[in-house]
Amino acid sequence: MKSMTREYGARAIRLSPLLAVLLAARHAWADGPQATPDIFAPASTPAQSIVGLSIFTLAITGAIFVVVGGLLTFAIIRYRERSTDAASEPPQIYGSVQVELAWTVIPILIVVVLFLTTARIIFAIQDAPEPKSALDVTVVGHQFWWEYRYPKLGIVTANELHVPVGKATYLRLLSADVMHSFWVPQLAGKTDVVPNHPNETWIEPQHTGLYVGQCAQFCGVEHAKMLIRVYVDTPEQFAAWVHDQQQPAPSDPEVAAGRRVFETNACTNCHRIAGTPARGTFGPDLTHLASRATLASGAVINNPQNLREWIKDPDHFKEGVLMPAMQLSDLQIDQLVAYLSTLH
């Protein structure tokens, strides 16, 4: 039943001609594959129940709009001044108890219905008990990137969250500095990430794929590039990913020079690479950097050219990022990029 309303709602929205034109325009515009975090294209339980509720709300408010807007339009057309009007004033009417009572009581009834429906969904989402099988992830918001910790699996990673399909994942939200907000529209509503005020949210994705989102609470200069990527994997893919992430960083003697650059510069103050002396915690964990698709919290594709540019001048991609330019020589940067590219 709920899925039917959702279908109808989604179709009604697609049928809206304005939106159809806009959607066409949006496909003509972009030159790559689209990844629009559309709130009406849910792929996970809380987001789906929200769509159901929002269609219901849209129907009620839409009906009110049609009735009141229609009456107003009628009044404008019917009662506008015409040249044939008599010079005298129209009859004066000061009020009517019955009419006024009616338009007070009807809205009250609407509020009661809408409130009860809303309250049900609030409790269903917010107070949902955590199933035993749920995956636990701790999300830490930092000025302008995301840290993901899987306490039971011993994994620490950054900016790209992996979760299994068809299973609940509970996210505990902490902040290392200022307020942020964790928002992946297709998976769930947003929940703020508040320092000194741990929050929790959960998702239960039904479809595999990549879902994007971003920080939704202004948090400083690079708030716009604090992007979120959530990979919903099949159970097999997820198990393989977990296995890979649990390994210490590969140590390839061919890139020992790059490793030396990393370990003898200030890189280690902020970054951690498991199995090496680098144990910093201010910046993202780089143990498996090369396994990630993006750099700079989702701002650019992770490839050697971008990585090189990023290390040379972090401001180039992300002006105001807290990572400083390390003033390394070209040779050192080449060695460093070669080393980091082996961290699968």
Asked if 264 is part of the footprint of other proteins (rule: CB under 8 A), the reply reads no
Which one of residues 7, 8, 11, 75 is an interface residue with other proteins (CB under 8 A)? 75
Which one of residues 1, 17, 81, 236 is an interface residue with other proteins (CB under 8 A)? 81
DSSP code at position 294: E
Which one of residues 216, 323, 338, 340 is an interface residue with other proteins (CB under 8 A)? 216
Whose Cβ is closer to other proteins: residue 56's or residue 265's? Answer: 56
Asked if 243 is part of the footprint of other proteins (rule: CB under 8 A), the reply reads no
Give the Cβ contact number of residue 259 at 10 Å: 23
* Whether the Cβ atoms of residue 180 and residue 192 lie closer than 8 Å to each other: yes
Least CB distance from residue 74 to other proteins, whole Å?
9
* Whether the Cβ atoms of residue 152 and residue 246 lie closer than 8 Å to each other: no
Using CB under 8 A as the binding rule, the residues of this chain from 24 to 63 that contact other proteins are: 25-40, 46-47, 49-50, 53-54, 57-58, 60-61
Asked if 12 is part of the footprint of other proteins (rule: CB under 8 A), the reply reads no
Structure tokens at 85: 């009007």
d(CA 161, CA 112) in angstroms, rounded, equals: 40
Asked if 247 is part of the footprint of other proteins (rule: CB under 8 A), the reply reads no
d(CA 237, CA 297) in angstroms, rounded, equals: 22
d(CA 120, CA 129) in angstroms, rounded, equals: 15
Using CB under 8 A as the binding rule, the residues of this chain from 84 to 123 that contact other proteins are: 85, 89-96, 99-100, 103-104, 107-108, 111, 114-115, 118-119, 121-123
DSSP code at position 339: H
Give the Cβ contact number of residue 196 at 10 Å: 6
Using CB under 8 A as the binding rule, the residues of this chain from 137 to 176 that contact other proteins are: 143, 175
Using CB under 8 A as the binding rule, the residues of this chain from 278 to 307 that contact other proteins are: 299
**Order of strands across the sheet with 169-175?**
155-158, 145-150, 135-142, 169-175, 199-203
Query: Which position has the token pair 């701002």?
Result: 299
Binding region for other proteins (CB under 8 A) out of 17-25, 164-172, 276-284, 322-330: 17-25
Whose Cβ is closer to other proteins: residue 16's or residue 305's? Answer: 16
Whose Cβ is closer to other proteins: residue 141's or residue 284's? Answer: 141
Least CB distance from residue 220 to other proteins, whole Å?
6
Helix, strand or coil for residue 155?
A: strand
